Amino acid sequence: MAFELREGVFVLDDVRNVSIRIGKVIEEEEEWEEAGPTPMPGIMELRKWDHKLLERYEPFYAPVQDFCNLCTMGPCDLSANKRGACGIDLKTAKARLVTIACCIGAAAHTAHARHLLDHLIEEFGEDTPIDLGPDVNVEAPNIRTIVGVKPKTLGDLRVALEWAEREIVKVLHATHIGNEESLVDYESKAMHVSMCDHVGMEVADIAQIVAYNLPKAEPDTPLVDTGFGVVDRSKPVIVVVGHNVMYARPIADYLEEHGLIDQFEIAGLCCTSHDMTRYNAKAKIFGPISYQLRVIRAGLPDIIVSDEQCIRADLLEACKAMGIPLIATSDAAVRGLPDVNEWDVDKIADALATGKLAGVFLTDPVKIGEVAVRVARAVFEKKKKGELFFESEEEFKNEIAKCTQCMNCVFTCPHNLRIDQGMAHAQKTGDVSKLAKLEEQCIACMKCEQVCPKNIRIINVIMRSNLNNLYAKTGKTRVGRGPVQDTEIRKVGQPIVFGQIPGVIAAVGCVNFPDEMGDLRIILEEFLKRRYIVVTSGCHAMDLGMIKDEEGQTLYEKYPGNFDAGGLVNMGSCVANSHIAGACIKIANIFAMRPLRGNYAEIADYILNRVGAVGFSWGPYSHKAASIATGFNRLGVPVVVGPHGMKYRRAYIGKPWNPEKWWVYDIKTRQKMNIEPAPDALLLAVETKEEAIVQLARLCLRPNDTSMGRQIKLTHYLELSQKYMGTLPDDWPIYVRSEADLPLKMKEELLHILESEHGWKIDWSKKKILEGPIRPYDAGFNPTLVEEVYEKYTKGK
Amino acid sequence: MATERVKKEEKYPVARRYQVADVQVSREAQAVKPEVIVRLVKKAKHPVLITGGQLLKDEKLVEYAVKFHEKGIPIIATGGSSKPLIEKGVKPQSAVFTLHQITQYMLDPDWKGFDDKGAYDVVLYLGFLPYYLSRMLSALKHFSKITTISLDEFYHPHARFSFTNLTANKEMHYRMLEEVINGL
């Protein structure tokens, strides 16, 4: 008799009282690729790679506090690098703090992935195949490279998730008092846990793409309405906020099933809105976290459904103040609300619609869909439809009149916005334009209102001052597409590695911008015009959907959505950031045929030396942004952050003036050789948009650039420096290996500068550099920092 | 009048931290008058002025930076501030590196400076976003012996010396800058 081995409980007919339970059946794994050296790495396996990076890109610490109060022996004064009661010094304490931040970020995405995956396996089955469309064969580049497995089904993703969860706990343990004493090893752990973050993100996004049939690497996704003015106020408005679409989806389903989708508005705040539009393009995007109070204080929602991450911790209070019922759906943010999962729908809907309860905690997706719709309709019908932010112009003016210019608000505002000057100008002249200008910069954090001795509703004043423009800032976002196609990588892999496509700029992260949101467009359009590839996700991606030019177009309407030169690619929500790392990894794999399986250090080394990709977070604030960036850093991708990014306290900045730091092994010549410092930083904060543009172009340079590639990259770097810095950059000569690297239009001028100011020898008859560069250009140059990679490609050859 | 000294009887504003929550247990900057800064710079072996991105928004700051340069104080320009300075004939020691990079270099005693003359001992700062500059000053406060002096309108607790809080009186800020320059 043939016996098929499968999971389940079996009773043997002839053996009384004996049953056999078969748990997971381990099938022989397909030999898809030779196993690399570090599958499922622990803390130690990639430490050597981290130390290589950290030797070159030295950690920089900028303490926000010079004390530590994490244990009961303290508080301890660590100033001037003194040691605390536990023995830790200030730098190591800051390294620990950054490691903790990265743990929080990684845990957020990974727990999100766990939540989704368990739910989706239950709803759709563990055998649901991972199918990301016909053009994606390398389905999970992070998981393949890091964990060393090739997932084929939703169930297979569990292995990767379990590995990530285990490693996050291990790193978090290392932050306990009395553990690590080396700041470099703390940084290695921060990199390790941040690499886990990219696995967690990849699990989450693959799972939701597959189960919810979100766009599968399609460049031409629909354009959806984005901005404060997206909703038709003559319809009930349901607002979803957070990052986990699992709970917002049933609302769209309920509306569709009952033929109500056109009678309601469903709009989102933060990444849930991205994923809602990926699920149903009739959904709309209100905006990022800084739009929460704008939308709530305006009274636009008739109900709010919250899930997790980057949601205001006073959401319930803010909703209560406006009479907006709240449904909290994630156990990560229960908000003190009663658990009503056991109640029937009528009872829940009645409690919310009548105001008996300000909010409820409800996780049953089916009930959420129906309750949200019924309550929104009931609230809408009885809602008074008045003016926004203030009931009348007189009330608005009276509020402004209260200001005494004490400046308490200025000294608590994260941007030190000059609210006092805006108020004073409005009081004297009646002109609110200075206050209106603040709306473009305000993140609506509400700190100002708490210190105002006159209890002025400052947020409302600022928003009301710019109400027309706030409405007008409504545009289009291209729906997040998910991963990059393998076919796209085949097309652009070579020009990226050789440098003909000058770089990939990945604009991701939050909205703690130093100035107006419009600067983000200016920065990115500079690169789109110059035919860089620009990818984006999360809050940056939705901000781009509300910044229009004179013709009323957003960048999404001007530039195509394919991963190619001059393309603007919206990957999706935060967890879609994993596809950006994935695209870098795929270049190493698909173009260069480097094996992925458990082969992280080789792939990261390849990316660091060859792939001119730079992360860019103009307004970072979250812990997730810290772990995303640090994960990119370990993968060899530098990241530029806006000025608030300094408050992460730690950066990785190399010293280009120290030649000892800049070397590689050349597999071709079998020599250890000095190279140009490219890139010379892994994590760097800039102050202005001008500086951001120049640094992004600069950090796209890579040692492996061909002459043509280097010429193109230097052309952009030099042009941008002249445009924004008013001069050639100080350091351009160190990137010149031969005359062929020089921008064609400036070649003669630059040769003269090299000769006269830097003492290089030039053969003017041939316009050839004879002496001067750090190293000559060699077309076969094959750099690596990793001894094992060097040995692998030289041994016996 | 811009060239006028701040009169003795004129009351200096309180040194109010640029950010109320930026509270430290170690020393805070000494809020100083222009003449103290003049003495510090005159005694310095290798002083430098670092300019920031706010020069792109305030032409007066550009004018003052130019005057510092005319008095022989070398300039490291960051944040794009090189552009207006170069247009006015200043040749900064560096234009492309960020304050973040420069601070990292300054923390290394082996760095010889952009002019190869050795470590800078007194560093003046002008024209920065307060929260951005603050973290750099914190790094230098804890991990170097460099004397840092903030000339910005917000009082900077992490500097060694700083102008007091001048946010309510821009004219006084300009007068104090003028007074420093005139004293050099």
Integer Cα distance of A741 and A755 in angstroms:
16
Q: Contact at 8 Å (CB) between A321 and A120?
A: no
Chain A's closest residue to B103, CA to CA, is: A60
Q: Is the pLDDT of residue A550 over 70?
A: yes
Cα nearest neighbour of B81 on chain A: A725
Question: Would you state the pLDDT for residue B6?
Answer: 57
Q: Is the pLDDT of residue B42 over 70?
A: yes
Q: What is the pLDDT of residues A71-87, one digit of tens each?
A: 999 999 999 889 999 99
Residues of chain A contacting B78 with CB distance shorter than 8 Å: 687, 691
**What residues of B are in contact with residue A691 (Cβ under 8 Å)?**
53, 78-80, 98
Token pair 């460099």 is found at B146
Number of domains in chain B: 1
Q: To 10 degrees, the CA torsion angle through A225, A228, A231, A236?
A: 140
Q: Are A219 and A127 spatial neighbours (Cβ–Cβ below 8 Å)?
A: no
Residue ranges and CATH numbers for the domains of chain A are: 47-212 (1.20.1270.30), 224-382 (3.40.50.2030), 393-472 (no CATH), 475-771 (3.40.50.2030)
Task: Name the amino acid, one letter, at A522.
Answer: I
Residue A30 has what pLDDT? 73
Nearest-neighbour CA in chain A from B168: distance (Å): 9
Q: Does the pLDDT at position A534 exceed 60? A: yes
pLDDT value of residue A202? 98
Give B26's pLDDT tier (boundaries 50, 70, 90): confident
| Interchain contact A651–B (C-beta under 8 A) | yes
The reply to whether residue A685 touches residue B114, judged by beta carbons under 8 angstroms, is no
Residues 6+ apart with CB under 8 A from A719: A743
Q: pLDDT per residue over A430-480, tens digit each? A: 999 999 999 999 999 999 999 999 999 999 999 999 999 999 989 999 999
Q: Count the helix, strand and coil residues of chain B and give each as a percent rounded to the nearest 5.
A: 35, 15, 50
* A56 in contact with chain B, both atoms CB, cutoff 8 A: no
Q: Which domain holds residue B133?
A: 33-183
Amino acid at A657: W
Decide if B131 is inside a domain.
yes
pLDDT beyond 60 at B5: no
Q: Which residues of B touch A646 (CB under 8 A)?
A: 100, 131-132, 135-136
Q: Specify the pLDDT at position A426.
A: 98
Residue numbers in A near B23 (CB within 8 A):
65
Closest alpha carbon to A152 in A327, A325, A27, A297: A27
Question: Is pLDDT above 60 for B4?
Answer: no
> Which residue in A411, A685, A687 is closest to B19 by CB distance?
A411
CB contact under 8 A, B52 and A694: no
Asked whether the beta carbons of residue B100 and residue A80 sit closer than 8 angstroms, the reply is: no
CB pair distance less than 8 Å for A58 and B56: no
B3: pLDDT strictly greater than 60: no
As a whole number of angstroms, the distance between CA A622 and CA A629 comes to 11
Residue B23 lies in a domain: no
Q: What is the mean pLDDT of residues A611-622?
A: 96
Find residues 82-111 of chain A whose CB sits inside 8 Å of chain B. Answer: 90-91
For residue B176, give Cα distances in angstroms to A447, B15, B39, B152, B166: 31, 15, 14, 10, 10
pLDDT at A694: 98
- At A643-680, the pLDDT tens digits run 999 999 999 999 999 999 999 999 999 999 999 999 99
Tell me the average pLDDT across B46-69.
98
**Could you write out the three-class secondary structure of A276-306?**
HHHHCCCCEEEECHHHHHHHHHCCCCCEEEE
Could you tell me which chain B residue has the CA closest to the CA of A651?
A: B100
Reported as a pLDDT band with limits 50, 70 and 90, residue A384 is: confident
Inside any domain, residue B4: no
Q: Is the pLDDT of residue B1 over 70?
A: no
Q: Is A323 exposed, middle or buried (0-12, 13-18, 19+ CB in 10 A)?
A: middle
Q: Let me know if residue B124 belongs to a domain.
A: yes
Kindly report the nearest CA distance between residue B40 and chain A, in angstroms: 22
Of B21, B52, B142, the CB nearest to A81: B142
| 3-class DSSP string for A167-221 | HHHHHHHHCCCCCCCCHHHHHHHHHHHHHHHHHHHHHHHHHHHHHHCCCCCCCCC
CB pairs under 8 A between A and B: 163
The tokens for B57 are 């928004």
Q: Could A79 and B130 be called an inter-chain contact, meaning their C-beta atoms sit closer than 8 Å?
A: no
Q: Is residue B39 part of a domain?
A: yes
Residues 129..168 of A with a Cβ closer than 8 Å to B: which? none
**DSSP helix/strand/coil, A466:** coil
For residue A542, give how far its alpha carbon lies from the nearest alpha carbon of chain B (Å). 26
Cα distances (angstroms) measured from residue A189 to each of A59, A86, A314, A521, A638:
13, 20, 33, 35, 18
CB spacing of B143 vs A407 below 8 angstroms: no
Does the distance separating the beta carbons of A66 and B142 come in below 8 Å?
Answer: yes
In contact, A762 and A577? CB cutoff 8 Å? no
Residue B122 Cα, gap to closest chain A Cα (Å): 18
Q: Measured between beta carbons, which residues in chain A are less than 8 angstroms from residue B26? A: 66, 77, 79-80
- Identify the pLDDT of residue A26: 62
Mean pLDDT on A766-776: 96
Please list the residues that pair with A284 across neighbouring strands.
A267
Set of chain A residues whose Cβ sits within 8 Å of the Cβ of B168:
405, 407
B167/A407 touch (CB, cutoff 8 Å), yes or no: yes
| pLDDT value, residue A796 | 74
pLDDT at A5 over 70: no
Let me know if residue B78 belongs to a domain. Answer: yes
Query: Residue A13 has what pLDDT?
Result: 66
Q: What is the pLDDT of residue A629?
A: 98
Look at residue B7 and tell me if it is in a domain.
Answer: no
With contacts defined as CB-CB under 8 Å, which chain B residues touch A643? Answer: 129, 131-132
- Per-residue pLDDT at A23 exceeds 80: no
Of the candidates B27, B80, B142, the beta carbon closest to that of A691 is on B80
- Per residue in A597-607, pLDDT (tens digit) is 999 999 999 99
Q: Where does the pLDDT of residue B21 fall: very low under 50, low under 70, confident under 90, or very high at 90 and above?
A: confident
- Which among A643, A686, A725 is the nearest to B82, CB-wise? A725
Q: What is the mean pLDDT of chain A?
A: 95
| Nearest residue, CB atoms, B96 vs list A64, A414, A694 | A694
The pLDDT confidence band at residue A8, using thresholds 50, 70 and 90, is low
Q: Check B96 against A651: CB less than 8 A apart.
A: no
Each residue's pLDDT tens digit, A391-426: 999 999 999 999 999 999 999 999 999 999 999 999
**A64/B135 Cβ within 8 A:** yes
Q: Searching chain B, which residue's CA lies closest to the CA of residue A421?
A: B168
The per-residue pLDDT for B2 is: 39
Question: Is A407 touching B (CB cutoff 8 A)?
Answer: yes
Question: What is the Cα–Cα distance from A112 to A256, expressed in whole angstroms?
Answer: 26
Work out whether strand A533-537 and strand A359-361 pair parallel, antiparallel, or are unpaired. unpaired
What was the pLDDT predicted at B52?
98
Q: Do B96 and A63 touch (CB under 8 A)?
A: no
- Smallest CA–CA distance, residue B150 to chain A, in Å, is 17
By CA distance, what is B87's nearest residue in A?
Answer: A726
CB contact under 8 A, A730 and B114: yes
List chain A residues with CB under 8 Å of B139: 60-63
Please check whether residue A691 touches B, CB under 8 A: yes
Query: If you measure CA to CA, which chain B residue comes closest to A515?
Result: B129
Residue B1 lies in a domain: no
pLDDT tens across A207-258, in order?
A: 999 999 999 999 999 999 999 999 999 999 999 999 999 999 999 999 999 9
- What is the b/e burial string over A712-746, where b = at least 16 CB atoms within 10 angstroms of the residue's CB? bbbbbbbbbbeebbbbbbbbbbbbbbbbbbbbeeb
Residue A1: pLDDT above 60?
Answer: no
Instruction: Quote the strand ranges of A1-126, DSSP E.
Output: 8-11, 19-22, 58-61, 67-68, 76-77
Label residue B7 by pLDDT band (50, 70, 90).
low
Taking the CA atoms of residue A374, residue A376, residue A379 and residue A380 in that order, the dihedral angle to the nearest 10 degrees is -120
Which tens digit of pLDDT belongs to each residue from A107-158?
Answer: 999 999 999 999 999 999 999 999 999 999 999 999 999 999 999 999 999 9
Looking at every residue in chain B, the average pLDDT score rounds to 93
Please report which residue ranges of A563-665 form alpha helices under DSSP H. 578-586, 600-610, 623-634
Q: Give percent of chain B above pLDDT 90.
A: 85
A316-350 pLDDT, tens digit per residue, is 999 999 999 999 999 999 999 999 999 999 999 99
Interface contact B108-A407, CB threshold 8 A: no
Query: So what's the pLDDT on residue A720?
Result: 98
Average pLDDT of A32-49? 97
Reply yes or no on whether the pLDDT at A168 is more than 90: yes
How far apart CA B81 and CA A522 sit, in angstroms, is 18
Given a contact cutoff of 8 angstroms between Cβ atoms, the answer to whether A65 and B138 are in contact is no
How many CB atoms neighbour CB A230 within 10 A?
Answer: 25
ipTM of model: 0.95
Quick count: other Cβ atoms within 10 Å of Cβ A562?
20
Q: Which residues of A touch B110 (CB under 8 A)?
A: 658
CATH of residue B83's domain is: 3.40.50.1220
Is the pLDDT at B122 greater than 50? The verdict is yes
Q: pLDDT-based confidence at A786, cuts 50/70/90?
A: very high
